[in-house]
Structure 1
Amino acid sequence: MQCLPARECGRRTAPRLVPGAGLRGLLPQGQQALTRQSDQLARERRALPWVRIDKPYRFDTPAGPRTLAELFEGRSQLLVQHFMLGPGWEAGCPSCSFMADHADGMLDHLAQRNVTLLAVSRAPLAEIERFKHRMGWRFGWASSAGSDFNYDFCVSFTPEQCAQGEVYYNYGLEPSTQQELPGISAFYRDAEGQVYHSYSTYGRGVEAMIGTYRLLDLAPRGRDEDALPYGMAWVRHHDRYGAPATSSSSSCGCAAAAQG
């Protein structure tokens, strides 16, 4: 068998074929090491101290007002996708929508592990419901409008903060003028109903939710994003593929988050 060297991919000239059956034997060693490192990182993440949540956050849901504890839907663990959909936006962030496209297929499996997954945005509930209906999603989605939730978890920022040209995001000061940025936060509720924050991930950390990227990484050309202005510049809402690209693809802060 002959294989095409990876560096030849995309060239217009005829590729040079080389014997390659033995080359693939080197990759599993690196892959196994990466898997072990990922497992260790997950253990260290779970070992971090939890932060008790005492602030009485309130959320608007289709079933009425809910506390943070009530968003768990009777389970002990909650994963929140901080979905970039601000008040008055015509549509949600394309990259957050790309993430959310993976959610529905995971819901039943996560529930079997005592985990609830839902999205939270700062937009009013009516605007969330309108966009959710357009996209055909069924996962839970709550509005944090009127609460400090998004601000406290460093995914929403005031105009005054944005005017300074940098915001506290992804555990450090980042250059940004965006009022909304993406993230995923994890919470635990004990038997007495007390809620704790265990971890949040931001920037490229949210790729944990994007199975499409995991498969693209196996494809011959990978993600094929090197020539793009930012990593997810190709992403559209799933009902907009085939339509011309618009400036809205980068106006929501996807570009900044894709770099981190």
Structure 2
Amino acid sequence: MPTCPSPRAPNGSSSAQLPVREKELTRQYDLLASARRGLPMVRVDRDYIFEGPSGKYRLVDLFEDRLQLIVYHFMFDPAWEKGCPACTRYVDALRDLSMLTRRNTAFALISRAPFPKLETYQKERRWDRLWGSSFGSDFNYDFRAALDEKIPTVH
């Protein structure tokens, strides 16, 4: 019979401490999330241009006449043929986003890969979300969401 890690390991083992450590990590993450929510709003002064299914569009266009915008920085490097596996699972799990519409909020995916790559991958995955390419712009770098060793990534 194969063996595998189990939370049912004997008392006194290191696994007995995992729930305590997990709760502490959750508390730390909650504090970090609270600090992030407390960051000040700043005006976006640059007019970022994206490419999408209808051609070129500006950052303000992503709002679709709504007051708020959620941008999911989908990791898709220009050199890659496929998107990030974790990002792919996230978008696969997205279903009805009508609750955002009711809250006057738009949602968009943005990636650094050129739009033709995004479009091919989107068709393959059968997604219908707005997905734009920031290829050639500093958008992902300016918002610290790019995979660049010189610029820290924010998750």
Letter in 1 for 2:59: L
User: 1:59 aligns to what SS in structure 2?
Assistant: strand
Q: Provide the C-alpha distance between the structure 2 equivalents of 1:142 and 1:66, rounded to a whole number of angstroms.
A: 9
Assess if the C-alpha contact under 8 Å between 2:72 and 2:109 holds in 1. yes
Task: Label 1:88 to 1:152 Cα distance change in 2 as closer, same or farther (>3 A).
Answer: same
Query: Matches of residues 165-184 of structure 1 in structure 2 within 5 Å?
Result: 166-170=149-153
Paired with 1:112 and 1:168, the residues of 2 have a C-alpha distance of 36
The answer to whether structure 1 residue 64 and structure 2 residue 38 are counterparts is no
**Which residue of structure 2 aligns with residue 124 of structure 1?**
114
TM-score (norm 1): 0.46
Post-superposition, which runs of at least 4 consecutive aligned residues in structure 1 deviate over 6 A? none
Q: 1:155 to 1:48 in 2, by over 3 A?
A: closer
Alpha-carbon distance in structure 2 between the residues aligned to 1:42 and 1:56: 28
Structure having the higher strand fraction is: 1
1:139 correspondence with 2:129: yes
Letter of the structure 1 residue corresponding to residue 127 of structure 2: W
Larger radius of gyration: 1
Q: Give the root-mean-square deviation of aligned CA atoms.
A: 2.7
- SS of 1:167 mapped into structure 2: coil
Q: Please list, as runs of the form range in 1=range in 2, the aligned pairs for 1:9-48 lying within 5 A after superposition.
A: 38=30, 45-48=36-39
Deviation at 1:150, TM superposition (A): 1.2
TM-score by length of 2: 0.74
Gaps of 5+ in 1: 9-14, 16-26, 171-200, 203-260
C-alpha distance in structure 1 between counterparts of 2:104 and 2:33, whole Å: 18
How far apart are 1:125 and its partner, in Å? 1.1
Aligned residues: 136
Return closer, same or farther for 1:44/1:169 CA change in 2, 3 Å cut-off: closer
